[in-house]
């Protein structure tokens, strides 16, 4: 059998240290606070609020790193809170809740595809008949409207129609307590 060199011994020690660090990190992650299922429904003026973003803000120190329990409401206003993975829930504790409105859909011509960018910039896709193609003319920068001007306007209209008090944990007025086990929340009844 071949004797170990100093280099081989150092490599073995490094591998052992890296392995111990990995095992320690994964075992710490598994020992974190347990998460419990949280389900609810989001209503605005008595109707389901599709696409609303629900965010839980812990009222006490909760070690979640940068993660905040949150959910996106479906077309019926129903949501399932998750912290790290889909539907994994939230730690037990008290939370202030904020709600943000659904982002408006992009209009045709504001998509991020190459074809849409070409159309917005004044170019066109190649047609089958080169004689039918019109030369692309560039507009001066001052004559162009930003690609997202309509999108921005829709976003501002939506935010103006949605009460701002729900977007701040101090003013939303919505408080919940997540308990051990399955948590079925009463519907959040938002009003304009």
Span 79-92, mean pLDDT? 94
- Segments making up each domain of the chain, as ranges: 34-105+157-190
Residue 76 CB neighbour total at 10 angstroms? 11
Assigned fold of 34-105+157-190? Immunoglobulin-like (2.60.40)
Per the prediction, the chain carries an average pLDDT of: 74
56 band by pLDDT with thresholds 50, 70 and 90? very high
Does the global pTM surpass 0.85? no
List CB contacts of 25: < 8 A, sequence separation 6 or more: none
Whether the CB-CB separation of 74 and 50 falls below 8 Å is answered with: yes
CA distance 35 to 59: 16
CA distances from 44 to 38, 52, 190 (A): 20, 10, 5
For residue 129, pLDDT beyond 60 = no
């Amino acid at each position: 059998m071949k004797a170990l060199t100093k280099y081989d011994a150092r490599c073995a020690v490094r591998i052992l240290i890296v392995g111990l660090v990995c095992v320690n990190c994964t075992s710490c992650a598994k020992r974190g606070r347990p998460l419990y299922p949280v389900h609810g429904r989001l209503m605005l003026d008595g109707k389901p609020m599709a696409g609303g973003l629900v965010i839980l803000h812990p009222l006490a120190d909760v070690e979640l790193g940068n993660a905040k329990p949150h959910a996106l409401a479906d077309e019926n206003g129903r949501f399932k809170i998750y912290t790290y993975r889909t539907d994994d829930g939230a730690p037990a504790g008290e939370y202030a809740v904020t709600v943000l409105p659904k982002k408006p859909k992009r209009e045709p011509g504001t998509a991020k595809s190459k074809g849409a960018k070409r159309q917005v910039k004044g170019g066109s896709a190649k047609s089958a008949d080169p004689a039918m193609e019109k030369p692309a003319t560039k507009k001066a920068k001052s004559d162009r409207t930003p690609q997202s001007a309509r999108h921005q306007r829709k976003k501002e209209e939506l935010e103006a129609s949605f009460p701002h008090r729900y977007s701040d944990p101090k003013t939303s007025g919505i408080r919940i307590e997540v308990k051990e086990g399955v948590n079925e929340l009463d519907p959040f009844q938002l009003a304009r």
